[in-house]
Amino acid sequence: MPPLLETKDLRAGYGDLWVLHGVDLAVRPGGFTTLLGANGAGKTTMLRAICGMVRTSGEIVFAGERIDGRATEEIVRRGMAHVPDGRGTFLELTVEENLRLGAYTRRDRGVRPDIARMLEYFPKLQPRLRQQAGTLSGGEQQMLALARALLLRPVLLLLDEPSFGLAPLITREIFQIIGSINKRENVTVLVVEQNANLALSIADHAYLLETGRIVMEAPAAEIRRNEAIRRSYLGY
């Protein structure tokens, strides 16, 4: 089966500065892949490049079609959702309004049942539907950002640092929910994460990025077991 997402010799950057230098990456359909590396390695730039948000060269293939050079809005319509670092929720709107905005590109009548399903995954949002998103805790805002992205009905979910600023217990809860969605909804996941140990415990495949280049690709369990690799590249 061909990859759902594949990059070939991908370079990406800002202005005259290249941050990624010839990255080859493949994400299989239904998989849970994590992209790990130190701060400044280029992980966030990688997700932005896939979404058409930065300057790129090379190939990006999604669902069998090249998407490099296409507008972000078109890429989203093809079935890709991106939850950026900082979550990107509309703080002045209510939780329910944020959720409905997640389905703005849809024309079907299944939005209400999908919102109900998301509230089953994220029950803490149920009593806060009419509450302003800006008054939620950090963990609740991350749950809202995830639920909103999933209302696009994506086939691929890109997550940038979902644990950022959250307590360890909340982080683990969110990752467990993401893992359940990956399996039950068959949503392919590519996650950038600083908490390497947690990401490797849930992902099935991993890439290590260092100064804009892939230095290792392997099953997540293999990297997690390799103490030398963890100490050299992941710092634990």
- Given a cut of 90, whether residue 229 has pLDDT beyond it is no
Phi, psi of 147 (to 5 degrees): -60, -40
Residues 142-162 pLDDT 10s: 999 999 999 999 999 999 999
User: What domains appear along the chain, each with residue ranges and CATH number?
Assistant: 1-79+155-164+187-236 (3.40.50.300), 85-153 (no CATH)
What separation in angstroms does the CA of 56 have from each of 37, 51, 159?
20, 11, 20
> What confidence score (pLDDT) does residue 218 get?
96
Query: In sequence order, which residues have a C-beta less than 8 Å from that of residue 177 and are 6 or more positions away?
Result: 121, 122, 143, 146
Q: What is the mean pLDDT of residues 165-173?
A: 91
> Is residue 156 within a helix (H) or strand (E), and if so which, with residue range?
strand 156-160
What are the E-state strand segments in 4-155? 5-14, 17-27, 32-36, 55-62, 65-66, 80-83
Q: How confident is the model at residue 227 (pLDDT cuts 50, 70, 90)?
A: confident
> What confidence score (pLDDT) does residue 236 get?
67
Query: In sequence order, which residues have a C-beta less than 8 Å from that of residue 96 and are 6 or more positions away?
Result: 115, 129, 130
Residues 28-73 pLDDT 10s: 999 999 999 988 999 999 999 999 999 999 999 999 999 999 999 9
- 3 state DSSP class of 188: strand
- Given a cut of 90, whether residue 17 has pLDDT beyond it is yes
What separation in angstroms does the CA of 164 have from each of 32, 159, 170, 172?
19, 11, 11, 12
- Given a cut of 90, whether residue 22 has pLDDT beyond it is yes
- Given a cut of 90, whether residue 164 has pLDDT beyond it is no
Residues 69-126 pLDDT 10s: 999 999 999 999 999 987 678 899 999 999 998 887 777 777 889 999 999 999 999 9
